[in-house]
């Protein structure tokens, strides 16, 4: 399998963590792609987004939730609960984290524009989505003993907020901060982490 990714993408990080947890890293070749500048990605994924996974028979999978679902079924780690409330919780929290990630990517790109061209209303709306999401996550009582696609998605996004200095999410969220410091020591998070110079 070939995974088109970018090192800082929180969505690609989620996929790489799932691959590691499922013992599949040896079966996946990582190839960097630049979704905003490389139009060849669009021939594979009309959205021109990473991550995009190309299976050995040429089938193409996106987005990150679909790729994670496939890898977890292949490897059998059971990161996506099979049914019931556990499944609904995991998928809903994954959707929340992914939505916060999309908002964060929008904030980062907006801040790259010249200061005079930045749209305060866009930044405010995206940051409100992120802070409201963080407030909900603070109430979730995450523990290191429970590790599903929800925790993976949340951890990947929190790390992205730090890497891109999106906002200081720790202020007023001691439970989330303590959980993140602990879960960040897990092997799959350590080997997939990227440090900005």
Ligand X SMILES: N[C@@H](CCC(=O)N[C@@H](CS)C(=O)NCC(=O)O)C(=O)O
Which residues contact ligand X by CB under 6 A?
9, 11, 35-36, 48-51, 63-65, 98, 102, 105
Least spacing, CB of residue 174 vs ligand X, in Å: 28
As measured in angstroms, the least distance from the Cβ of 101 to ligand X is 7
In whole angstroms, what is the distance from residue 44 CA to residue 192 CA? 24
Is the Cβ of residue 22 or residue 157 nearer to ligand X in the bound state? 157
Is the Cβ of residue 77 or residue 101 nearer to ligand X in the bound state?
101
What is the nearest approach in angstroms of ligand X to the Cβ of residue 84? 24
- Which backbone phi and psi does 29 adopt, to 5 degrees? -95, 125
State in angstroms the smallest separation of the CB of 8 from ligand X: 7
Compare residues 21 and 98 and give the one whose CB is closer to ligand X. 98
């Amino acid at each position: 399998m070939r995974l088109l990714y970018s090192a800082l993408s929180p969505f690609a990080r989620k996929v790489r963590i799932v691959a590691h947890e499922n013992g599949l890293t040896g079966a996946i070749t990582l190839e960097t792609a630049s979704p905003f500048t490389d139009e060849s990605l669009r021939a594979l994924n009309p959205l021109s987004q990473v991550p995009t996974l190309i299976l050995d028979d040429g089938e193409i999978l996106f987005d990150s939730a679909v790729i994670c679902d496939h890898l977890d079924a292949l490897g059998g780690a059971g990161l996506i609960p099979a049914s019931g409330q556990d499944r609904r919780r995991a998928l809903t929290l994954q959707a929340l984290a992914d939505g916060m990630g999309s908002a964060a990517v929008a904030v980062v790109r907006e801040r790259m524009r010249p200061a005079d061209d930045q749209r305060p209303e866009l930044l405010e709306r995206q940051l409100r989505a992120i802070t409201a999401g963080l407030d909900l996550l603070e109430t979730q009582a995450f523990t290191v003993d429970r590790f599903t696609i929800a925790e993976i998605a949340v951890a990947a996004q929190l790390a992205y907020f730090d890497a891109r200095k999106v906002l200081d999410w720790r202020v007023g969220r001691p439970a989330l901060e303590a959980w993140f410091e602990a879960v960040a020591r897990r092997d799959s998070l350590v080997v997939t982490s990227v440090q900005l110079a």
